[in-house]
Amino acid sequence: MLIAKKLKANSINRMLKIENLQASIDNKSILNGLNLEVKAGEVHAIMGPNGAGKSTLANIIAGKEEYEVTNGTIELHGEDISELAPEERAHNGVFLSFQYPVEIPGVSVTNFIKTAINETRKAKGLEDMPAKDMLKMIREKSELLEIDRKFLSRSLNEGFSGGEKKRNEIFQMAMLEPKLAILDETDSGLDIDALRIVANGVNKLKSKDNAVIVITHYQRLLDYIVPDFVHVLYDGKIVKSGDASLALELEAKGYDWIKQELV
């Protein structure tokens, strides 16, 4: 009885479960049996050297179609999402903060986020968000991320600095209130002030009901967004997991010692 209760609590708690994930692009294998479990309320950091498959993992969870998943499962809230279209995964609460956000000329930040929110609502059978509510939400979230109102009328990512692009990603995350947010090298291209603002924003958005996966090369971001778990991704697999101290160890010693451990 007690055990059954615990199991149930576990499965409610469990946000993401990836088992034995294998994936390739153009017949080149990139993920080689990856396992990862993320519970609501947790922050996971995924680190690793270049080419280890970090961004691939982020894109596959989000449903990018150029990757071929050859084996394994991706479960969100206990449901297999690996056959869902990217927009359906988004509707289910998956959010990816892109490493290189694309430009969409002529589409303002406001128009884009309005469309995203209303398309998500439509998928759930809800009416468009009333303009008044939308405005209120935009005000709150832009204040949270110290975003200038003028910024919202600019074309999406067009002519944005690296910092503005990343801040805009987190602004969208704030607006869409995802269950699972994956931040793909959100720290790259950020100066220290922007990094602090973005990290503070993420921290404020964190709750016991959502989870965050932070993909990064460096410890720097993890000074601000403190992870519950740190995983080392190498050669398409998670080869080592630990707590926040692992990130510090990696920062001090590099990745070579892990490679050697594996040999």
Partner 1 sequence: MKYTEDDLEKELETQEYKYGFYTDIESETFAKGLNEEVVIAISKKKNEPQWMTDWRLEAFRVWKKMEEPEWANVRYEKPKFQDIAYYSAPKEKPKLNSLDEVDPELLDTFKRLGISLDEQKKLANVAVDIVMDSVSVATTFKKTLGEKGIIFMPISEAIQEHPALVKKYLGTVVPTTDNFYAALNSAVFSDGSFCYIPKGVRCPMELSTYFRINEGGTGQFERTLVVADKGSFVSYLEGCTAPSRDENQLHAAVVELIAMDDAEIKYSTVQNWYPGNKEGKGGVYNFVTKRGICENNAKISWTQVETGSAVTWKYPSCILKGNNSVGEFYSIAVTNNHQQADTGTKMIHLGKNTKSTIISKGISAGHSQNSYRGLVQINSRAENARNFSQCDSLLMGNACGAHTFPYIEVKNKSAQIEHEATTSKIGEEQLFYCNQRGIDTEKAIALIVNGFSKEVLNKLPMEFAVEAQKLLEISLEGSVG
User: Is 73 in contact with 82 (CB distance < 8 Å)?
Assistant: yes
Q: Where does this chain touch partner 1 (CB under 8 A) — which range of 101-109, 126-134, 195-203, 243-251?
A: 101-109
Angle between helices 192-205 and 162-176 (to 10 degrees): 10
Sheet holding 94-97, edge to edge: 94-97, 180-184, 211-215, 43-47, 229-234, 237-242
In order, the DSSP letters of 5-62 are: HHHHHHHHHEEEEEEEEEEEETTEEEEEEEEEEEETT-EEEEE--TTSSHHHHHHHHH
User: Which residue in 18, 30, 31, 96 binds partner 1 (CB under 8 A)?
Assistant: 96
Burial of 136 (0-12, 13-18, 19+ CB in 10 A): exposed
**Shortest distance, position 90 Cβ to partner 1, whole Å:** 4
If binding is defined by CB under 8 A, does position 123 make contact with partner 1?
A: yes
Whole-number Å distance between alpha carbons of 227 and 206: 12
Q: Where does this chain touch partner 1 (CB under 8 A) — which range of 28-36, 95-103, 132-140, 199-207?
A: 95-103
Residues between 40 and 79 that touch partner 1 (CB under 8 A): 62-66, 68
Sign, Cα dihedral of 58, 139, 43, 50? positive
Q: Where does this chain touch partner 1 (CB under 8 A) — which range of 48-56, 114-122, 200-208, 247-255?
A: 114-122
Q: Where does this chain touch partner 1 (CB under 8 A) — which range of 7-15, 80-88, 190-198, 229-237?
A: 80-88
**Shortest distance, position 93 Cβ to partner 1, whole Å:** 10
Nearer to partner 1, 112 or 160 (CB): 112
If binding is defined by CB under 8 A, does position 176 make contact with partner 1?
A: yes
Number of residues that bind partner 1 (CB under 8 A): 34
Whole-number Å distance between alpha carbons of 153 and 157: 11
If binding is defined by CB under 8 A, does position 262 make contact with partner 1?
A: no
Write the single-letter amino acid at 184.
D
If binding is defined by CB under 8 A, does position 244 make contact with partner 1?
A: no
Of 13, 16, 47, nearest to 225 by C-alpha is 47
If binding is defined by CB under 8 A, does position 106 make contact with partner 1?
A: yes
Nearer to partner 1, 164 or 230 (CB): 164
SS3 254: coil
Write the single-letter amino acid at 91.
H
DSSP percent split of the chain into helix, strand, coil, nearest 5: 40, 30, 30
If binding is defined by CB under 8 A, does position 95 make contact with partner 1?
A: yes
**Shortest distance, position 26 Cβ to partner 1, whole Å:** 10
Q: Where does this chain touch partner 1 (CB under 8 A) — which range of 34-42, 48-56, 112-120, 214-222?
A: 112-120
**Shortest distance, position 196 Cβ to partner 1, whole Å:** 25
Chain positions contacting partner 1, by CB under 8 A: 62-66, 68, 85-87, 89-91, 94-96, 98, 101-102, 104-107, 111-113, 115-117, 119-120, 123, 155, 172, 176
